[in-house]
């Protein structure tokens, strides 16, 4: 079963004994919970499109491990064309869901671990790459959704993992056994964790010898003993409990983050991909971050396409589509959005083959891509709010619109263009609110800032990758600098 249908995906989650907490309570059925279900629908879309002939070129690929057709989210990139198709696929899914579809982190973790385990084995004679290949075959054959987990809670950011007052603030090995290891800690901000079959764990930063217990990479099922998840709150999330198709803004799709706790979890040897080789922790982080920063040149652009469309509709419904300043703002939104896409395609086109055989993006351009993502979606969102107008955040509810007593007044006074119903105007304004301020803002605006690392993290990588000395030498040649004269 190399490709699951969306129905099979949903049923596969029902079979898991997931331990999920929301609002302080253990959720008996996460799959059908009204707050969680929209985020599951977004993941299901990755399975649905892979079944459709018109999207198969983007949504599927031939596995280099099994020779079978697999979902691209389970694929190891074999060319720069694969890297570009990844970005195009992510844009498509952003357009279809206007939300985070959650499988990108696992895909990026696969590709970072594939090359890193190969090089770790090359230096230390370990079996991590063999373990990982077998794990990837399992993931591909079962078309699994995998939560790629890197970010630790971190505690005091000024201290290394081994220096923390509470040693569990970075996930660590607490016991080594002949048959595996016991780990304890947590992973924060985990995108789509509740909708995943597996957790694939990576270290979160470069490490020293004294941090070797924290230099660990492994995989466990999402319902492994000792694993539980605490669902993250989002702005306006309880609107999903109101059974309103208007007030949520995007009633079908969504995203989520969770705190995933590992309370003395056993990991068997064949599921371990790094275990104390601290000198490869930073390598893995750098590669994963590069792949994930490339991802934002696709997913955020697709969501941006929807937001631009919603802003243009708002202008129509407000009766001002021909106003010159409105046209100019929409042009600016398009310009900013396509700039992000250009960065995603550029870092893919300049990708190179790794020692392991899969392809890695150009790290400098990937970090440039994400640095732009920390800025441009904020301006796109600001312009959308400007075009929408203040009614976007002062509008009465759908219940008011449907009220026998006051509904006629809402209908009368909230109408814009006479060509458009009040209800449709409210739908579009709520969508913009959702994407710029509500639950979708977690997957668009705020995640644009902090997802795949903070802005400063990209600036550090840009500094490392930019080769400033080589640029100085270019200037010296042109200026005919003679250093013997110094």
Query: Catalytic positions, please?
Result: 100, 104, 191, 257, 292, 296, 299, 447
* Element spanning 462, H or E: helix 455-465
Give the tokens for residue 213.
Answer: 């217990």
**Cα 97 to Cα 78: distance, rounded to the nearest angstrom:** 27
> In this structure, what are the phi and psi dihedrals at residue 198, rounded to the nearest 5 degrees?
-140, 155
Give the tokens for residue 315.
Answer: 């202008």
> In this structure, what are the phi and psi dihedrals at residue 335, rounded to the nearest 5 degrees?
-60, -45
- Report DSSP letters for 390-442, one per residue: THHHHPPPHHHHH-TTTHHHHHHHT--STTS-HHHHHHHHHHHHHHHTSHHHI
**Cα 296 to Cα 455: distance, rounded to the nearest angstrom:** 13
Instruction: Please name which of 226, 219, 214, 227 lies closest in space to residue 275, comparing C-alpha atoms.
Output: 214
List the beta bridge partners of residue 272. Answer: 218
Task: Give strand ranges (E) for 326-400.
Answer: 352-353, 359-360
β-strand pairing of 180-191 with 172-177: antiparallel
> In this structure, what are the phi and psi dihedrals at residue 396, rounded to the nearest 5 degrees?
-65, 170
Report H helices in 51-103: 56-59, 80-97
Is the Cα dihedral 51, 148, 110, 343 positive or negative? Answer: positive
List the beta bridge partners of residue 61. Answer: 70
Residue 265 neighbours by CB under 8 Å, 6+ apart: 182, 183, 184, 220, 224, 225, 226, 227
**Cα 160 to Cα 465: distance, rounded to the nearest angstrom:** 24
CB 355 within 8 A of CB 122: yes
Instruction: Please name which of 288, 229, 43 lies closest in space to residue 144, comparing C-alpha atoms.
Output: 43
CB 423 within 8 A of CB 408: no
CB 282 within 8 A of CB 69: no
> In this structure, what are the phi and psi dihedrals at residue 40, rounded to the nearest 5 degrees?
-65, -40
């Amino acid at each position: 079963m190399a490709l699951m249908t969306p129905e099979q995906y949903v049923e596969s989650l029902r079979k898991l004994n997931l331990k999920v907490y929301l609002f302080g309570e253990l959720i008996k059925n996460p799959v059908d919970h009204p707050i969680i279900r929209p985020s599951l629908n977004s993941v299901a879309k990755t399975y649905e499109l892979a079944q459709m002939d018109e999207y198969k070129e983007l949504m599927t690929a031939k596995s280099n491990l099994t020779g079978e057709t697999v979902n691209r989210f389970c694929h190891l990139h074999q060319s720069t064309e694969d890297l570009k198709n990844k970005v195009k696929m992510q844009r498509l899914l952003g357009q279809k869901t206007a939300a985070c579809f959650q499988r990108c982190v696992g895909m990026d973790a696969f590709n970072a671990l594939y090359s890193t385990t190969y090089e770790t084995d090359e230096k230390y004679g370990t079996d991590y790459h063999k373990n990982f290949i077998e794990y990837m075959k399992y993931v591909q054959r079962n078309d699994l959704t995998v939560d790629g987990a890197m970010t630790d809670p971190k505690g005091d950011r000024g201290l290394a993992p081994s220096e923390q007052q509470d040693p569990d603030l970075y996930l660590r090995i607490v016991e080594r056994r002949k048959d595996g290891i016991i780990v304890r800690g947590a992973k924060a901000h985990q995108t789509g964790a509740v909708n995943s079959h597996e957790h694939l764990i990576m270290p979160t930063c470069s490490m020293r010898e004294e941090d070797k217990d924290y230099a660990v990479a492994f995989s466990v099922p999402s319902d492994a003993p000792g694993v539980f998840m605490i669902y993250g709150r989002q702005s306006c999330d309880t609107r999903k409990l109101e059974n309103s198709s208007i007030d949520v803004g995007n009633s079908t799709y969504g995203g989520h983050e969770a705190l995933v706790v590992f309370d003395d979890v056993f990991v068997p040897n064949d599921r371990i991909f790094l275990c104390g080789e601290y000198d490869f922790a930073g390598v893995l982080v750098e590669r994963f971050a590069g792949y994930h920063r490339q991802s934002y040149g696709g997913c955020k652009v697709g969501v941006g396409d929807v937001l631009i469309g919603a802003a243009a509709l708002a202008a129509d419904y407000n009766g001002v589509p021909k106003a010159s300043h409105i046209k100019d703002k929409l042009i600016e939104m398009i310009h900013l959005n396509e700039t992000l896409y250009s960065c995603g395609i550029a870092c893919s086109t300049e990708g190179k083959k790794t020692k392991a055989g899969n392809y890695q993006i150009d790290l400098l351009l990937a970090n440039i891509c994400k640095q732009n993502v920390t800025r441009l979606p904020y301006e796109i969102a600001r312009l959308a709010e400007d075009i929408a107008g203040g009614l976007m955040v002062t509008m009465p509810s759908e219940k008011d619109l449907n009220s026998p007593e006051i509904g006629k007044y809402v209908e009368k006074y909230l109408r814009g263009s006479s060509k458009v119903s009040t209800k449709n105007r409210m739908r579009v304004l709520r969508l913009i609110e959702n994407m710029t301020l509500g639950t979708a803002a977690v997957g668009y605006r705020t995640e644009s800032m902090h997802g795949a690392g903070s802005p400063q993290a990209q600036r550090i990588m840009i500094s490392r990758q930019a080769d400033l000395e080589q640029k100085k030498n270019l200037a010296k040649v042109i200026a005919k600098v003679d250093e013997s004269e110094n």
